[in-house]
Amino acid sequence: MKYYDKLIFELSKEGRSACTLPLPDRKLELPETLRRSSKAVLPQVSEADVVRHYTNLSQMNFGVDTGFYPLGSCTMKYNPKINEEVASLPGFRDVHPLQPGAKGYEQLYEEMDKALASITGMAHFTFLPCAGAHGELTGLMLMRSYHESRGDFKRKRIIVPDSAHGTNPASAALCGLEVVVVKSGENGLVDVESLKPLLGDDLAGIMLTNPNTLGLFERDIKAIAELVHSCGGLLYYDGANMNALMGVVRPGDMGFDILHLNLHKTFSTPHGGGGPGSGPVGVCNKLVSLLPTVRTSAFHGNAGVILKAYAYILMLGKENIAKLGKLACLNANYIKEELKDCYKLPIDTVCKHEFVFDGLEGANTLDVAKRLLDYGYHAPTIYFPLLFHQAIMIEPTETESKETLDDFIAVMRKIACEAKENPELLHSAPHNTPVSRPDETLAARQPVLKWQSQ
């Protein structure tokens, strides 16, 4: 990766254009009051300028195709190329969202609904949500709708564990729910005893991810489900960690009533530098009739992403889907066992698809993460979950070979040695990336959020 310092605006030359449209015979006529007073400032560049510029920008980026990406809770598995190809077929690309009789798409949504229902143990799905957090909010709206449809208007509290993803409490608050935090016990799991006093007839439900963000299976899930159900609440499953259970455990069988899946995690669609994702929401039978009442995006959700995820499911087929979770868990346990003598492992037990170290003796987690970049790896998720001060959350996924894991393990051990012998090396890392550590305080104190000509 080499440093390239241009912005497209800085390549601009008056009068240059890459637009190949024919010249209009007729110019638009609008009353002066409705016209923009000056031309919009946009780049004036040639096609070659554009192609080179964005190619250069891409070379300052690291993707799953570049190297190992053990970003915890993000499930950065390999994204099969055939999925990209089929999703961009003209027969899919050129269909207007309001056009009736789009039989190909209708069949896709039907088959995908059936496939996801079988994989998760839910009854039916809505595909409107465009991302995980969007799914959470849609799911919580369904939860509230369910209670209100039964004339029960007082359920305004929701239980969220302290280890939950930040989107859980944020989604709940937007849905008009009061967030009640349940603390994790010493073993990293939801403590059933501390849950009991939080129950009541004003409880809308509980949001859980299982395995939780420590990569641990909530083994009391059946008891939790029974407690929450017995006071009239519903269970929401945050599907961010679904990869751990793929083919082995179905959220519906654990007692969950509503869930979202992240097709851009578990179902291999590329994350695109922050989206587009897709966060379909599945519900159990008693909530199915409510699905059409919740419109949370304009048309049919991210149809293009759903196509890719369905291609992934079809290529795995019923024969291979059961292997996913197991191999993902094996890879995570393997790294954990190989590294636990030099990184602090606060909870030493069989993990699922990911696990959390509480840093490295004598070093900051941030420094470890930045040093990993020098060795050609993406860093794990750091400082999350909030339960440990120096959290390093590692999720390898099932698509990595033993050789890739061994190389990563060797580098992690090397960094542990460097931390002792030459801590400055970590402190000033990264050294081999296009830029070194940027000044984030400066960015926040004097925000420069757009390019302006000098």
Partner 1 sequence: MLKRVSLSSLDELYSDVPEDCKFKGEFDLPSAMSEQQLREYFERLAAKNPKSKVFVGQGAYDHYCPSVIPYLCSRSEFLTAYTPYQCEISQGTLRYIFEYQTMICNLTGLDVSNASLYDGATAAVEAVRMCVACTRKRNKVLLSDGLLPNVIETIATYAKWEGTELEIIPCEAGETSRTALLEALDGTVAGVLLPGTNRFGIVEDHSGLADAIHQAGALFVEYCDPSTLAVIKTPAEWGADIAVGDGQSLGIPLSYGGPYVGFMACRNEYMRKMPGRIVGQTQDAQGRRAFVLTLQAREQHIRREKATSNICSNQSLMALWITVYLSLMGPEGLEDVNNLSYQAAHGLKDALLKTGLFEDPYPGKPFIKEFVLKPLCDVQKLHAALDKAGIFAAWPDKEGNVSFCATENRSSEDIRALIDVVNSLK
| Cβ at position 70, least distance to partner 1 in Å | 11
| Candidate residues 150, 286, 389, 402; the one interacting with partner 1 per rule CB under 8 A | 402
Distance CA(284)–CA(130), nearest Å, equals 21
Rg (CA), the chain: 25
Q: Which is nearer to partner 1, 28 or 230 (CB)?
A: 28
Q: Around Cβ 292, how many Cβ atoms within 10 Å?
A: 8
| Cβ at position 114, least distance to partner 1 in Å | 7
- The footprint of partner 1 on this chain (CB under 8 A) covers a number of residues equal to 188
Establish whether the linkage from the previous residue to 430 is cis, with ω within 30° of 0.
yes
User: At residue 384, what are phi and psi to the nearest 5 degrees?
Assistant: -150, 140
| Candidate residues 57, 194, 201, 289; the one interacting with partner 1 per rule CB under 8 A | 57
| Candidate residues 159, 203, 227, 254; the one interacting with partner 1 per rule CB under 8 A | 254
List, in sequence order, every residue forming a beta bridge with 259; answer none if it has no partner: 237, 282
Looking at residues 185 to 204 of the shown chain, list those that interact with partner 1 (rule: CB under 8 A): none
| Candidate residues 276, 288, 344, 404; the one interacting with partner 1 per rule CB under 8 A | 276
Only one of the segments 190-198, 211-219, 227-235, 415-423 lies at the binding site for partner 1 (rule: CB under 8 A); that segment is 211-219
Distance CA(24)–CA(139), nearest Å, equals 48
Q: Which is nearer to partner 1, 225 or 360 (CB)?
A: 225
| Cβ at position 123, least distance to partner 1 in Å | 13
Q: Which is nearer to partner 1, 219 or 420 (CB)?
A: 219
Beta carbons of 152 and 231 less than 8 angstroms apart: no
| Candidate residues 68, 70, 72, 79; the one interacting with partner 1 per rule CB under 8 A | 79
| Residue where the block lists tokens 């638009």 | 28
| Cβ at position 281, least distance to partner 1 in Å | 13
| Cβ at position 206, least distance to partner 1 in Å | 15
Q: Which is nearer to partner 1, 420 or 433 (CB)?
A: 433
Beta carbons of 390 and 364 less than 8 angstroms apart: yes
Distance CA(274)–CA(430), nearest Å, equals 23
| Candidate residues 70, 76, 375, 387; the one interacting with partner 1 per rule CB under 8 A | 76
| Cβ at position 413, least distance to partner 1 in Å | 15
User: At residue 418, what are phi and psi to the nearest 5 degrees?
Assistant: -60, -35
Distance CA(139)–CA(155), nearest Å, equals 15
Residue 115's alpha-carbon distances to 87, 229, 245, 290, 321, in angstroms, are 18, 27, 16, 20, 11
Q: To 5 degrees, how large is the angle CA 96–CA 100–CA 106?
A: 90
258 part of the interface to partner 1, by CB under 8 A: no
| Candidate residues 150, 174, 289, 362; the one interacting with partner 1 per rule CB under 8 A | 174
Looking at residues 98 to 137 of the shown chain, list those that interact with partner 1 (rule: CB under 8 A): 98-99, 101-105, 107-108, 114-115, 117-119, 121, 130-134, 136-137
Q: Which is nearer to partner 1, 277 or 282 (CB)?
A: 277
243 part of the interface to partner 1, by CB under 8 A: no
Looking at residues 282 to 341 of the shown chain, list those that interact with partner 1 (rule: CB under 8 A): 294-305, 307, 311, 313-322, 326-327, 329-331, 333-334, 336-338
Looking at residues 425 to 454 of the shown chain, list those that interact with partner 1 (rule: CB under 8 A): 428, 430, 433-440, 442-444, 447-451
157 part of the interface to partner 1, by CB under 8 A: no
The answer for residues whose C-beta is within 8 angstroms of residue 26's C-beta and 6 or more apart is none
User: At residue 157, what are phi and psi to the nearest 5 degrees?
Assistant: -110, 145
Looking at residues 214 to 233 of the shown chain, list those that interact with partner 1 (rule: CB under 8 A): 216-217, 219, 221-222
Beta carbons of 355 and 394 less than 8 angstroms apart: yes
Beta carbons of 265 and 74 less than 8 angstroms apart: yes
Q: Which is nearer to partner 1, 180 or 231 (CB)?
A: 180
DSSP 197: G
